[in-house]
Amino acid sequence: MKYLLLLFVCSVSLQLQAQQTRPVDAILDEFYHHPEHIMVAAHRAAHTKYPENSLAAIREAIAEGIDIVEIDVHATKDKVLVIMHDDNITRATGKKGKIADYTYQELLQFPLLFNGQPTTEKIPTFEEVLQLTKGKIMVDIDFKEDSVEFAKQTIDMVAAHQMEDQVLFFIYEPPFATQLRSFNARLPIMPRAHNVTEINDIERMSTHLGKFPAIHIDDSFYADALVQGITSKGTRIWINSLGKYDKMEAKQAGSGFDQLRKDARFANVLQTDYPERLLAYLRKQGLHR
């Protein structure tokens, strides 16, 4: 009887441990504790297979084992946060008008396009994306609204889902970080730097706002010494493979990623339109878990 009871207790303990372990925990451990490993970000989710910024594209990124999914946040006429890259719906749905011209229920009438053809996918809400990604993948929130109100709404929704640990809130103007941190001190923020001067400004801001987990820079002003100085302090450097590198990759496998690695050797977050290819490329070279 005692033996059976012990087996039962052990079984329950193992089940509880399994429930507490999230797939995203391994990603977070890599992100914060293994700067020698390069993280992969899926631009607009896995949009070479499904409509960009759709729930299907996000599910695919999760299934592929991608580290970070990048999404774009806008607000509708009735103040619902939705996911779409452009501020208008034409390219994604074939319909005219801006997101802000429609209520969310009106937007649901327009299916997302893939390769020019309608799909069963609809414009997702930010709420739906948080529900889908919780505990599974890091989320890069590319906040596209010029509104403090919507920024706070976005941050409050992240907090309501207890997901501060697995998001990056991407901002284009570094000074905006002060206001965001006043809304939620736990919010991980990734500021955009367009030149070395802005890098220096961001590092000065970190002395009173706390360390930023990542800084988004361009390959145009990348320098090994600059980047190594930042990453040695525990901040990651995010660079895009989008544009010329991904175009090279589309023509010849490995060529674009090879060139990006030559041009930005110590950048340790790479965003691409080909996340599955980049993941395989990095693993082959021992640069990813």
Q: Which segments of the chain have a pLDDT < 70?
A: 1-21
Give me the pLDDT at residue 15, please. Answer: 47
Give me the pLDDT at residue 165, please. Answer: 95
Q: Which string of b and e fits 175-190 if b means at least 16 CB within 10 Å?
A: ebbeebbeebeebbbb
Give me the pLDDT at residue 16, please. Answer: 41
Q: Flag whether the pTM goes above 0.95.
A: no
Structural domain contains residue 27: yes
Structural domain contains residue 109: no
Q: 212 near 235, Cβ under 8 Å?
A: yes
Structural domain contains residue 200: yes
Give me the pLDDT at residue 104, please. Answer: 98
pLDDT in tens, 52-87: 999 999 999 999 999 999 999 999 999 999 999 999
Give me the pLDDT at residue 134, please. Answer: 98
- From CA 143, how far away is CA 128, in angstroms rounded? 16
Provide the domain count of the chain. 1
Helices 176-183 and 196-209: crossing angle in degrees, nearest 10, is: 30
Structural domain contains residue 6: no
Q: How many CA atoms lie within 13 A of 126 on its CB side?
A: 30
Structural domain contains residue 104: no
Q: Which amino acid is at 31?
A: F
Structural domain boundaries enclosing 31: 23-87+124-284
- From CA 3, how far away is CA 217, in angstroms rounded? 59
Give the list of residues 6+ apart from residue 134 with CB closer than 8 angstroms, or none.
161, 163, 166
Structural domain contains residue 11: no
Structural domain contains residue 118: no
Q: Across the strands, what pairs with 72? A: 142
DSSP-H helix ranges across the chain:
2-20, 23-33, 55-63, 90-93, 104-107, 126-133, 148-160, 176-183, 196-209, 224-231, 244-251, 255-263, 275-284
Structural domain contains residue 184: yes
Any idea which residue has 């995203």 for tokens? Answer: 24
Give me the pLDDT at residue 289, please. Answer: 84
CATH number of the domain that residue 43 is part of: 3.20.20.190
